[in-house]
Structures are given as structure tokens and as C-alpha cells.
Amino acid sequence: MGSDGDNKMAGVRIMQTLSIIGAGRLGQTLGRLASAEYRVAGVYNRARAHARAAVDFIGAGEPCDRLDALPASDLYLLSVPDDALADCACALARVENLPCGALVFHASGAHDLSVLEGLRQRPLRLGGLHPAYSFADPARAASGFAGTLCALEGEDSVCRELAAFAAALGGQSFRLAPGGKAAYHAALSIASNFLVTLTGLALSVAHQAGIEPGLAQRLIADLMRQTLENALTLGPAHALTGPVVRGDAHTVARHLAALSRAEERAAYLALARATLHLGQDRIPPEKLAALQSLLAGLPGGDE
């Protein structure tokens, strides 16, 4: 057989090896997507049956129920739950056969690289790659992943390698600014989790108005879709409509009086204050002052 140099001269690409630590939905999905351009060497889970099921889904790899049984690899993906990442990093640091210079990276949206602190005693490269995607079902996630944005963390060389990994998955990568992970994750939570909460609040208040549930869902859904499209096309400030941006303090007061539940009233107040800040340049000064006075004079207002 020829040497590695002979293979490169002949234009043969030597596939890097990947081991996956955590055989849940995220690990399974990324493993299957990566397997076209990376050789999945091992998949670890404390329950060997889960590791075996993940290997079957990915179509490659050796199932392992011990970290020290994982084959030595070029890349190690830590796809364990967020609250297990720090302990997992410490446990991996005790594995003797980790190759010098291997890239160990996690896929958490909530944690930055400090969660891998336990691995800094070893001569490894550390990084983060977070796909902004929902992994509710691995098969559906794998089929719809193309074009997903992936946030990268790490040194320049690490980010270049993770960008190549993201491209192999079918994703598009971008680099987070140092210290930006918490704000990044908060932005995703606002856009995703809080949108669901807003939908629930709107439907609840519509129910208080006596609107039949099916009709309320259609009413709210149509308006939310139109508004989101406007906000993304025109920009949030220009897409704003309604009583707050008109400076209509009387209507806002009537809304608040109609909200009998404390959590709905508190949510309305918080959102009205944020909306006032976003649209204040469009509100005539005298109306802005009246609305500011109304919102500041209510419980939870500015001191």
C-alpha cells in the first residue's frame, strides 16, 4: 500500500474520524449527516442499547458504554445534555488514548467553551458548534437540516475545522464574538420559546373575549404570520402598528383593565414598555409622555 503522501498525491481524500459522546437525538442526527464525509468511529452512551440504536440509525460506528472504549479519533462531538457537559468533559479528560491535538467540541447553545474547562489539562483543541435547529425527531431533522445556521466558537484554526464540519452536515456557519454566547442563546429563546408563549397568551385572552377556540386560533395565526413577515421585511420599528406606537394611552389602559389574570397583565406591561422603547421615535412627544406616565405608574414600572 502507498503512504498517506502517495494517497494525497493521487487526489484521494483521507476521511477524518469522528467519535460521538451522547447518543440522543442531536448526536444521532449530526452523526448521520456527518457520515458522508467523516468516518464515524464510535458512539458512546452509558446504556449500550442506546449506543447500538444510535449506530444503527447513523449507519456507522462502534457502540461503546465506556469512554475509554471509544476509538481514538480526530474529532470528538459532545452531544450530552447541557447539565452533563462539565462532568462529561472531566470524565473524558481521564481517558488515556485521546490523541494529542484532537478537536473536542460541544453542540450546546447555552454553554460557552468554559464548560469544557476540565479538558484544558490535556493537549487538545476545544470548540463549540451549535446548530440553530430543533432536533425533536432525528429522521426529520436529518432530512431538513440543509442550510441550517451553525454558531461556532474557538480559536481560528478550530473555527476553520468546525466550519468544514458544518458544511459537511449541509449547514452554514458563522463565528460568535468572544463572550457572546449568552446573548446569542437569549436571542434564540426570545425568537423561539417566547413566540410560543405569546401565542398561548394571545389565545387565552381571545378566549376571555368569548371567541370560539378554532376561530381564535385562525384569527391569531393569520395576524401573527402577517406581522412576522412584515417585521422581517420592513424591520421591527417600521413594522410596528397598534395603540402603543400611536401613543394611544386610553386604549392601552382599557387593554390592561380587561386583563384579569396577573400573569397576562404583567406580560402585557413588559411588552408594552419594550414596544414603547422600539417605536418612541414615531410617537408625538405629548403622547409619548402620557404613555410613559401611564406605564411607569403601574406596578413593575420604572422607579
pLDDT tens string 174-214: 999 999 999 999 999 999 999 999 999 999 999 999 999 99
> Which of 7-16, 66-75, 191-200 has the weakest average pLDDT?
7-16
Determine the pLDDT at residue 303.
40
If asked whether residues 199 and 151 sit together in one domain, one would say no
Confidence of residue 9 (pLDDT cuts 50, 70, 90): very low
Position with higher pLDDT, 39 vs 192: 39
* Spatial contact of 67 and 95, defined as CB atoms under 8 Å apart: yes
If asked whether residues 170 and 22 sit together in one domain, one would say yes
Residue 1 above 70 pLDDT? no
Residue 6 above 80 pLDDT? no
Give domain status of residue 170, yes or no. yes
If asked whether residues 107 and 243 sit together in one domain, one would say no
Please report which residue ranges of the chain form alpha helices under DSSP H. 4-9, 25-34, 48-58, 85-93, 138-144, 156-169, 181-191, 193-208, 213-234, 236-239, 243-246, 249-258, 262-279, 285-296
CATH number at residue 132: 3.40.50.720
Determine the pLDDT at residue 183.
96
If asked whether residues 140 and 246 sit together in one domain, one would say no
- Which one of 179, 201, 226 terminates a domain? 179
If asked whether residues 242 and 173 sit together in one domain, one would say no
Give domain status of residue 238, yes or no. yes
If asked whether residues 210 and 175 sit together in one domain, one would say no
If asked whether residues 172 and 196 sit together in one domain, one would say no
Q: In percent, how much of the chain has pLDDT > 70?
A: 93
If asked whether residues 77 and 15 sit together in one domain, one would say yes
pLDDT tens string 232-288: 999 999 999 999 999 999 999 999 999 989 999 999 999 999 999 999 999 999 999
Q: In percent, how much of the chain has pLDDT > 90?
A: 91
Determine the pLDDT at residue 191.
92
Which amino acid makes up residue 27?
Answer: G
Q: List the grid coordinates of 146.
A: 440543509
Domain residues for the domain of 32 are 4-179
- DSSP structure class, residue 282: G
Task: For the chain, give the mean pLDDT.
Answer: 93
> Which of 3-7, 113-117, 168-172 has the weakest average pLDDT?
3-7
Determine the pLDDT at residue 260.
87
If asked whether residues 133 and 205 sit together in one domain, one would say no
If asked whether residues 9 and 72 sit together in one domain, one would say yes
Q: List the grid coordinates of 226.
A: 402577517
